[in-house]
Structure 1
Amino acid sequence: MSSPDDPAHPPVLDLPIGRDVVLTDLRHDVGKALVGLGEDHVYDVLLVVTELVSNVLDHTTGSGRLRLLRRITPCEVTVEVDDASTQHPVYGRSRLGENRGRGMVMVESASSEWGITLLPEGKTVFAVVPCV
């Protein structure tokens, strides 16, 4: 996981997440931050962002922070989402019903790695999306 304070890889996007977030607006901001990447790569990053931010809205207090870190070599984008919960994402099932719960499965399929870093005030869920 990258650090937002790492001068070698500063965030290309760093936004708060709140209950009032509009996902279509957020996705637009992500697309603008990733100008120059291939369409398929941007699509994969958008999928990961949507799923991780939706998890914050659905399974926590609904507030957090989104960061995108872009590396040229190797070409990849790291999506980091902070929230105040220490509860880990559940892979493949949901507490919200049988038609939910595939978000982390999709995150895993779009990324080369994903994981969780516990923080004193919650956690960061991250996913590394390689160029395709």
Structure 2
Amino acid sequence: MTIADEHARSLVVDLPVENDLDVPVLRRQVDDALQGLGEDHRYDVLLVVTELVSNVLDHTSGGGRLRVLRGRNPCQVLVEVDDTSTAQPRHGRSRLGPDRGRGMVVVGSVSANWGTRSRPESGKTVFAVIRCGDGEKSPAPCDRVS
């Protein structure tokens, strides 16, 4: 039996990612949109948003688009970032220097799942799913989980 809102997601953020983007302002907007979530879950989502948006700003020539969708049953947040590049994210190496390039490692460590999919017009979407509670075993309720 399937509950009506199972796997249903609500779009809570849909914003352009442009070269002049103020990332701290973007983080505040996402944080405000997810106030019903527990602090730890919001922190993980903000970390993923920061890494994925920074990748667009650092590694592509065009802009992109950020979408954050919230699911209630099970409790999870889906972060999607579109960009115009066909280059795939890499773990642990960056063309920006030896002290960079660990963003996707961080995304992988706090996400239940992440990956990419090609966009029909051009480029790709990088996505990550962040669950609250202890993930697959018994997802916690979506409201005020710490």
Return the offset for 1:35.
1.3
Return the offset for 1:93.
1.1
Taking structure 1 as the reference length, what is the TM-score of the superposition?
0.92
State the partner residue of 2:127: 126
Q: Provide the C-alpha distance between the structure 1 equivalents of 2:124 and 2:72, rounded to a whole number of angstroms.
A: 26
Does the 8 Å CA contact 2:10/2:71 hold for their aligned counterparts? no
Return the offset for 1:62.
4.2
State the partner residue of 1:50: 50
Identity of aligned residues (%): 63
State the partner residue of 1:68: 68
Q: Which runs of 5+ in 2 are unaligned?
A: 1-7, 134-146
Amino acid at match of 1:79: V
Return the offset for 1:51.
0.2
1:18-97 equivalences in 2 (<5 Å)? 18-97=18-97
Amino acid at match of 1:49: V
Alignment RMSD (CA, Å): 0.9
Q: Provide the C-alpha distance between the structure 1 equivalents of 2:15 and 2:58, rounded to a whole number of angstroms.
A: 18
Does the 8 Å CA contact 2:9/2:72 hold for their aligned counterparts? no
| Number of equivalent positions | 125
Amino acid at match of 2:125: T
Return the offset for 1:11.
1.2
State the partner residue of 1:4: none
State the partner residue of 2:108: 108
Taking structure 2 as the reference length, what is the TM-score of the superposition?
0.83
The C-alpha deviation readout for 1:18-73, integer Å capped at 9, x for no partner, is 01100010000000110110000000000000000000000001400000010011
Amino acid at match of 1:24: P
Does the 8 Å CA contact 1:17/1:62 hold for their aligned counterparts? no
Q: Which has the larger radius of gyration?
A: 2
Q: Which runs of 5+ in 1 are unaligned?
A: 1-7
Amino acid at match of 2:68: L
Does the 8 Å CA contact 1:30/1:46 hold for their aligned counterparts? yes
